[in-house]
Amino acid sequence: MSGADGADWEKRRLPAPWGEEKAVFAGFLVLWIVFNGRLTLEIVLIGIVVSLLMTLLTCKMTGMKFRDAMFGRRGAFRYVPYLVRLLGEIAVCSLRVIALVLRPKCEVKPKLFYFEPEIESEGVRVLLANSITLTPGTLTVGLKGGRFHVHALDASFSDGIETSELVRALERIDAAKSKRREARK
């Protein structure tokens, strides 16, 4: 098409998953295969179709290129160090809970405690609350304002939570967000 009709067509056209969105397509396909738990021709073919549809839907709904979403000002890669720490904490705490449960004559001393990290953003506070709940042996009972009410399976699980690397990583993310907010004003 040429002229004005061609320009209109370009605006309405859905993005092809083999352009910048190929990483989204590949991610959906990998997830499809992992969640199916086996690799057969049928699963791969259906996965290609489903991944293509999901990629097109994602691009249509967000109106944003994948590259902009991941590497832009509000990119998700700033959370990678935090996610690595969270996975490490989950692994370590899982082993601690297993040791606590398997210990003969186990004397568990549950503890409820409060702490207030230096996090201003409500979204980051909710992320921390969910991370505490995901970590075995701890549960966020309440979050009011900036104050967390946490239950620990054993008193030892509460030691140092206020100064943990997980909390510090989220405080750094929150500080960066605050700086960006201030710069926009």
Can you give the pLDDT at residue 57?
78
Nearby residues of 1 by Cβ (< 8 Å), 6 or more positions away: 9
Rounded CA separation 175/23 (Å): 30
How much is the pTM? 0.61
92 assigned to some structural domain: no
Q: How many structural domains is the chain composed of?
A: 2
CATH value at residue 156: 3.30.310
Rounded CA separation 120/84 (Å): 23
User: What does 133-180 look like in DSSP terms, one character per residue?
Assistant: HHSTTEEEEEEETTEEEEEESSHHHHTTGGG-HHHHHHHHHHHHHHHH
Tracing tokens 């370009």 back to the chain, one arrives at 10
pLDDT tens, position by position, 122-169:
888 888 999 999 899 999 999 888 899 999 998 888 888 888 888 888
Choose one of 71, 99, 124: the last residue of a domain. Answer: 71
Can you give the pLDDT at residue 84?
86
Can you give the pLDDT at residue 12?
46
- Calculate the alpha carbon distances from 102 to 83, 92, 97, 129 in Å: 28, 16, 9, 28
For residues 111 and 163, membership in a common domain is answered with yes
CB atoms within 10 A of CB 23: 13
Percentage of the residues of the chain whose pLDDT score is greater than 70: 79
Residues of the chain falling short of pLDDT 50: 1-18, 69-73
CA-wise closest residue to 111 among 149, 151, 66: 151
CA-wise closest residue to 153 among 139, 141, 163: 139
Can you give the pLDDT at residue 13?
47
Can you give the pLDDT at residue 76?
58
Boundaries of domain holding 57: 3-71
